Structure 1
Amino acid sequence: MPRPPTRPAALTGKVFRGSDALASGRLTRGRLRSSAWRRVFPDVYACSSLTVDHRLRARAAARLLVPAAVVSGRSAAALWGVDLAGAYDDVECTVDATCRGGAVQGVRLTRRALPAQDVTSRDGVRVTTPLRTALDLARIEPPEEAVVCVDRFLQQSRRVTLEEARAAAETLTGPGCRRVRAAVARADGLAESPQETRTRLLLHAAPLPRPTAQYVVRDAESRFVARVDFAWPEAKLALEYEGIWHGAPQNVGRDRRRLNALTAAGWTVLFVTAADLADPVALIARVAAALQASGYARRRSPTAP
């Protein structure tokens, strides 16, 4: 049986530059290539006892590769506890326009001036504030993805309100400010998953009455029944995005009880999956048919008998 790797105490549980470890004599080249360490960036290694996720890589980039940088964009969102980047996606950093550093593999550098009030410290590195992070996410292309990211950040971080983001967006000037305002205006900060945001944007773009997001359904005695992703209360029609986790054995019983309660309260529930989002015409037609079947359109029409 192979012996577990031995690690110098000074490097155990740490992220470090390989060249520094070699120069100090703590490691030899052979030991640096052992299973005790995981390569994070060129010349940057992590103890294999650590989980290499985007947060770790963002901290490593800012501490060891580009010390003058401010972690920004999706990487800043990761440091604020919101997962918008994969573990090995490029780390997004901002440096001053006068910074002369070159390209760094695995790091995406943006050169711009950041006001001091837009920068703070977290996890031992400089990072954009939650408000600046939200505005930077609104610059993402394509525009729909920007709305998805802003929604996700507002809902999960709970550090910025939609009203604060919209107010700040109105004060922006310069390139991209219109794009930021448009994305923040379309966000609602309520969606509990990216697919819910995509569903909402699809519904809003369709020739349908706009639904209410995250609607609380109550029975005839005003008792809580369920909260649904989207609702047309007058039609007693709910639409739910059904992700993979709904089919997990531990969730099936709860979901069925919830559906039975909604049905008992007189509600019709439609379910949307990723496959439905890939066929928006059919999805919108299904929602329109359900609204028509409920008599909703007739009740809203001023010429209805």
Structure 2
Amino acid sequence: MPPQPSRPAALARQVFRGSEAVRLGLLSRHQLRGASWLRLRHDVYADARLRRDHGLACRAAALRLPPEAVLAGPSAAYLHGVEHAASFTDDVHVLVPRSARIDSQPGIRVHTLGAAPVLLPAGGGPVTRTDDDRAVAAEATAGPAIVDGTAAGARVLRWSTPAQAAWETAVWLEPFRAVAIVDGLLGRGLVTPADLTAVAERNADRPGGRRARWVFGLADGGAQSPPESHLRVRLVLAGLPRPVTQHPIRLASGLALHPDLAWPAFRVAVEYDGHWHADAEQLHRDRQRLNHLVGAGWVVLHVTSRRLHRDFPGVAREVRAALVACGWRR
């Protein structure tokens, strides 16, 4: 059996500057190239056991940024718990004052702002998880957010509040992705429609203010996944009436079903079938659900991932035809 890799206790589960670890005698340059460590950026390394998610990317970016940098937009949304907001390979979005004089670099998208953003209070927020799903985080009394507390390049991270992160996301990202992230913030109760209205009004005169209000107007916390958000927004932009997410349909048996999208006035529903719907047990439940809805007098259309991305015009025609057949008049 090969020997187990040796890791100094000070670097276990940590993200650190390689040059500092060498200077402090914790590792040699040769050891840095071993399987125990993952090189994330120039001179930035991590314990290879850490999960490769966006939280890890944020911790790595922090060691290359000035102390006044704030994680923002989709990166902040991720750290608040919207896991689909960003992945390990996505850019880390940061906000810095203009005086910081730092430019974007591979893997880090820098945004500047004259006034200081609103930040998360000290000690909050989920962070990178280890392989056994335990959070690697500072205690609430230890200071703000993520702490990489070794002597080999210690840094503390701060990130935007959920409402501010929603505004930044709406301004910086393409609309479909932005709406899905704002949906996630709403669905998790991290923001309310009133919060979005307030942050939109507060930033109305800033560049992107009109775009943010438009994205917020399309958001809906009832969405269960980013593809459902994508489908809903595309249908609305295609000129169809706005559907209700997760509308409760109570059957005679007392069972309540909640289709992904529904137009209750016309008794038309749309179900999004992702890749996991190919599972045999899920397919059985889907067909039973479909029978219940049809038996209750509803027209139900199914949209697969492939059709959403490759044949959306056909999907829109079918939904439009179903609504017209059930009494919708534009």
- TM-score over 0.5 for the alignment? yes
Q: Secondary structure at the match of 1:3?
A: coil
Structure-2 residue corresponding to 1:35? 35
Aligned-residue RMSD, C-alpha: 2.3
| Structure 2 counterpart SS, 1:270 | strand
Percent identity between matched residues is 41
Return the alpha-carbon distance in structure 1 between the equivalents of residues 103 and 172 of structure 2.
23
Deviation at 1:94, TM superposition (A): 1.1
| Stretch deviating more after TM superposition (119-128 or 92-101) | 119-128
Higher deviation after alignment, 138-147 or 6-15: 138-147
What is the CA deviation profile of residues 156-183 of structure 1, one whole-angstrom value per residue up to 9, with x for unaligned ones? x421012210232023222111111111
TM-score (ref. length: structure 2):
0.82
| Paired residues of 1:134 and 1:154 also in contact (CA < 8 A) | no
Q: Indicate conservation of the 8 Å contact 2:16/2:63, yes or no.
A: no
Could you give the per-residue CA deviations for residues 165-216 of structure 1, whole angstroms, max 9, x where no partner exists? 0232023222111111111122122211121122112222334444322211
Q: What is the alpha-carbon distance in structure 2 between the residues aligned to residue 33 and residue 102 of structure 1?
A: 29
Match for residue 201 of structure 1? 233
Which ranges of structure 2 fall in alignment gaps of 5 or more residues? 122-143, 148-156
Deviates more, 1:164-173 or 1:62-71: 62-71
Q: Which amino acid aligns with 1:285?
A: R
2:22 partner SS: helix
Residues 127, 262 of structure 1: CA spacing in aligned structure 2 closer, same or farther, 3 A cutoff? same
For 2:93, the aligned partner's letter is: E
**Equivalent of 1:287, from 319, 324, 327?**
319
Task: Work out the CA distance in 2 between the residues paired with 1:73 and 1:247.
Answer: 34
Structure 2 Cα separation of the partners of residues 194 and 116 of structure 1: 27
Q: How far apart are residue 53 of structure 1 and its match?
A: 1.3
User: 1:192 corresponds to which residue?
Assistant: 224
Bigger drift between 61-70 and 43-52 goes to 61-70
The residue that corresponds to 1:92 in the other structure is: 93
Aligned length: 296
Give the structure 2 partner of residue 245 of structure 1: 276
> Which residue is equivalent to 2:75?
75
The 8 Å contact of residues 17 and 63 in structure 2, kept in 1 or not, is answered as no
Tell me which protein shows more strand as a share of its residues. Answer: 1
Change (3 A) 1:17 1:229: same
TM-score, scaled to structure 1 = 0.88
Distance of 2:186 and 2:293 partners within structure 1: 29
Q: How does 1:212-291 map to 2 (within 5 A)?
A: 212-220=244-252, 223-277=254-308, 278-291=310-323
Classify 1:97/1:255 alpha carbon distance in 2 versus 1 (closer, same or farther; 3 Å): same
